[in-house]
Amino acid sequence: MTDTLDRTQDGPTPGGTLGAAELAAVRADFPLLQRTVRDGRPLVYLDSAATSQKPEVVLDAEQDFYAQRNAAVHRGAHQLAEEATEAFETARTQVASFVGVPDDELVWTPNATAGLNLVAYAMSNATLGRGGAAAQRFALRPGDEIVVTEAEHHANLVPWQELAARTGATLRWLGVEDDGRIRLDDLDTVVGERTRVLAFSHASNVTGAVAPVNRFVARAREVGALTVLDACQSVPHLPVDLPALGVDFAAFSGHKMLGPTGVGALYGRRELLEAMPPVTTGGSMVEVVTMAETTYAPPPRRFEAGTQMVSQAVGMGAAATYLAELGMPAVAAHETHLAGLLLDAVASVPGVRLIGPAENRDRLATVSFVVDGVHAHDVGQVLDDAGVAVRVGHHCAQPLHRRFGVAATARASAAVYTTDEEIAVFREALAGVRTFFGLGD
Amino acid sequence: MEQLYQQLILDHAKHPAHRGAQEAYDVEVHHVNPTCGDEVTLRVRLDAGESGAPVIGELTWTGQGCSISQASASVMSQAVSGQPVETALALSADFRELMDSRGVLPEKFADDALADGLEDAVAFVGVARYPARIKCALLGWAAMKDAVAQAAATSGQEDRR
């Protein structure tokens, strides 16, 4: 971890971006970025919106946990158990403070999808009467409405479809404008007195558009709806203060923010988590168990049944610390610069159409596009031949692709470790795609 | 990459064979590759062959997807049209073997008769070097196999009646 400390000494001025020396130091922290692909080409990794690469401090944290501290957490009277528990709970503090929340408002989940499903199934259980009177605020009935947006990742759509089907509630959604931003004109009509849940993503994994969370939260509060934020794409790339955003719940994953797979986090406001019935039940989440019934532990442990993903949580804690030490304002400024380069690259190549906002404002360095006459899969293959890794397909957002009349797009997405030079390689490779398939200049 | 996108594959992608939706058919199937959204809708009509065994009388398809999936459906439709069902299914199994080859042409394909049967499909051996693309190449074949199996089962029932 000393290398990150060194970097802060010649680090950015407040409000600044990452300097060249600093960026070089960041890249040196990521072993995988040093490798080559496809017959010796330097890797240009532009698929960070799918999963990020991991710095050495994260790899070391997981390794160190298993090599030095591994034991069952929250049980056992031996020293290792104490150390393992401390590592696990320290990680919770690191991740919680990274998004501005107290420890007891942060629940470990296997990934963000599990966090979103946790909320949906807790509501389902409340609807069945579980959790008693306190949980009735989560119960849904026919006539109640759940609102999502057309831009959602399937992870923040399908659980709500299922919840609506189980409870008889109605699923509604906000549409998307031609530039990929959510149609706010409909906010006051779609989100109304019957709305009980408003679930939306902070930033789209396809268009890169950042949603005006304050507008959504204000409207939800007017009508007494709960807000559920899919923060997977925002937390790794923007300074995120969840209490300041004012959402009731938020889910994000470790692996997109330089941490390991197999771990994510769900934030819930304390009074909500306290009133919410459990979903997965079993060991570790109980108070008193008799043969007939059980009382449950307070949150967050009420929602953490069974053996937890301890080493991954420790890794996610290390990732949060790494990003915090770089400074999220500087990370965001660097990525805004990269977004501009990606947008320029896409705009510079004839026959390439951007899917998402062209204006470099309130957007991430996540840029999706289609190439006229060439399927996204084929685009990805030609880029791959130049060492450039992009995502192709529907990016788990079929409705959004249908909205734009395309089955698939290619997506270039940057992260803190992405350089100008890499985007130049991407630009050049993209310029060769249509030529390769014998299409016009 | 040139091994993957052989000219023959690019040509098929640009000018696919048997593309369309025939009027007379026994079965229509719709197959998708959920990871990329590629899709093929395929119609097949079986006729009684000379020996009485069913042959693929007519087969047409429509679809959208990458050049590999579209070219493969085109090549497949050429290879199996007019063939006995048994032969078409055997070709499908051979093509599967080709896809599992990791890009090294299995010895059995040195046999001219077999390569002739698969026709242009042998050009897809390069696809087998790219594991992510194998499903693209198999999409049309999977649709054909499904449609032909359904059509054969139906006609079998009719025969019994």
Q: Could you read off the pLDDT of B49-98 as tens digits, one per residue?
A: 888 889 999 999 999 999 999 999 999 999 999 999 999 999 999 999 98
Q: Taking CB atoms and an 8 Å cutoff, what residues of chain B touch A408?
A: 36-38
Is the per-residue pLDDT at A145 higher than 50?
yes
Is the per-residue pLDDT at A4 higher than 80?
no
Whole-number pLDDT of residue B156 = 59
Which of B1, B39, B40, B134 has the highest number of chain A CBs within 10 A, making it the mutation to test binding with A? B1
Predicted ipTM of the assembly = 0.85
pLDDT tens by residue, A344-354: 999 999 999 99
Q: Which long-range contacts (CB under 8 A, 24 or more apart) does B40-43 make?
A: B40/B65, B40/B69, B40/B73, B40/B139, B40/B140, B40/B143, B41/B143, B42/B73, B42/B140, B42/B143, B42/B144, B42/B147, B43/B147
Is the per-residue pLDDT at A239 higher than 60?
yes
Q: Taking CB atoms and an 8 Å cutoff, what residues of chain A touch B133?
A: 377, 381
Is the per-residue pLDDT at A140 higher than 70?
yes
A436 in B contact zone (CB under 8 Å): yes
pLDDT tens by residue, A60-80: 999 999 999 999 998 888 999
A377 in B contact zone (CB under 8 Å): yes
In percent, the amount of chain A with pLDDT more than 70 equals: 96
CB within 8 Å: B36 and A393: yes
Q: What angle do helix axes A376-385 and B131-160 make, rounded to 10 degrees?
A: 150
- What is the token pair recorded at B3? 């091994």
A432 in B contact zone (CB under 8 Å): no
A284 in B contact zone (CB under 8 Å): no
pLDDT tens by residue, A258-302: 999 999 999 999 999 999 999 999 999 999 999 999 999 999 999
- Closest chain A residue to B9 measured between Cα atoms? A437
pLDDT tens by residue, A304-346: 999 999 999 999 999 999 999 999 999 999 999 999 999 999 9
Is the per-residue pLDDT at A233 higher than 80?
yes
Pairing of strands A145-149, A106-109: unpaired
Q: pLDDT grade, residue B154 (50/70/90)?
A: confident
Whole-number pLDDT of residue A17 = 86
CB within 8 Å: B36 and A392: yes
pLDDT tens by residue, B4-48: 898 889 999 999 999 999 999 999 999 998 877 789 999 999 999
CB within 8 Å: A393 and B136: no
Whole-number pLDDT of residue A15 = 53
In percent, the amount of chain A with pLDDT more than 90 equals: 94
B65 in A contact zone (CB under 8 Å): yes
Of the candidate ranges A109-123, A317-331, A392-406, B101-115, the one whose mean pLDDT is the lowest: B101-115
**Could you list the active site residues of A?**
396
Q: Taking CB atoms and an 8 Å cutoff, what residues of chain A touch B64?
A: 407
Whole-number pLDDT of residue A10 = 45
Q: Are A50 and A410 contacting, i.e. CB atoms less than 8 angstroms apart?
A: no
